[in-house]
Amino acid sequence: MKVTETHLKGCFIIEPTIFGDQRGNFFEVFNQIIFEAKTGLSLHFVQDNQSISQRGVLRGLHLQKGEYAQAKLVRVIQGKVLDVVVDVRVNSPTYGQHFSIELSGENNKQLFVPRGFLHGFATLEDATIFSYKCDNYYNKESESGVIYNDKDLNVDWQLNEDEVLLSEKDEKLPLFSNLNDLF
């Protein structure tokens, strides 16, 4: 397993070692001991989530705040997404900066998203299966977020504006400048 820290401290790209032969391939999706040794982080995942989306679906930018904050390990099983994180840790030198990466069923890369980050993804292919582990349970009252097309963040979602499909909830998310200090 190859682990590379992004320019956002605590946010890691994880690439599995894939073993292949004439039958197909095999790789270890997650190993707690290796993860801890390569990241220096000790956490315990308690919830796994999965979504299936068509091209153009954009989910985000979301986070959970307070005692229900979540770190996530995200991946794509089938299809392709542009995965985006934004550092909202107030005392971080990279506060307000974002990182994006293409995750797909072909490249098998994963992204570790620490607590204190907004997270979202744009689906780039139909029938994309997105999966993620969380280190804390979901709590509706702890939800927060920022509108995906915030001009201050200036994220290139790799979709035309007329392709973007949002939930009603995500259409109403505030601007980054209106985000109260969360972390």
Catalytic member of 62, 95, 119, 148: 62
Q: How confident is the model at residue 182 (pLDDT cuts 50, 70, 90)?
A: low
Mean pLDDT along residues 50-74: 96
Catalytic member of 7, 95, 119, 132: 132
Q: How many CB atoms lie within 10 A of CB 108?
A: 17
pLDDT the model gives residue 165: 96
% of the chain surpassing 90 pLDDT: 93
Active site residue 132: yes
Out of 2.60.120.650, 2.60.120.10, 3.40.50.2000, 3.40.50.300, which CATH number does the structure's domain 45-178 have? 2.60.120.10
Active site residue 7: no
State pLDDT tens for residues 112-161. 999 999 999 999 999 999 999 999 999 999 999 999 999 999 999 999 99
Q: Which two tokens stand for residue 116?
A: 């204190």
Question: Residue 183, Cα to own-chain centre: how many angstroms?
Answer: 17
CB 102 within 8 A of CB 130: no
pLDDT the model gives residue 124: 98
Report the alpha-carbon angle 140-81-28, nearest 5.
90
Q: Which two tokens stand for residue 56?
A: 């153009």
Q: How confident is the model at residue 59 (pLDDT cuts 50, 70, 90)?
A: very high
Report pTM: 0.94
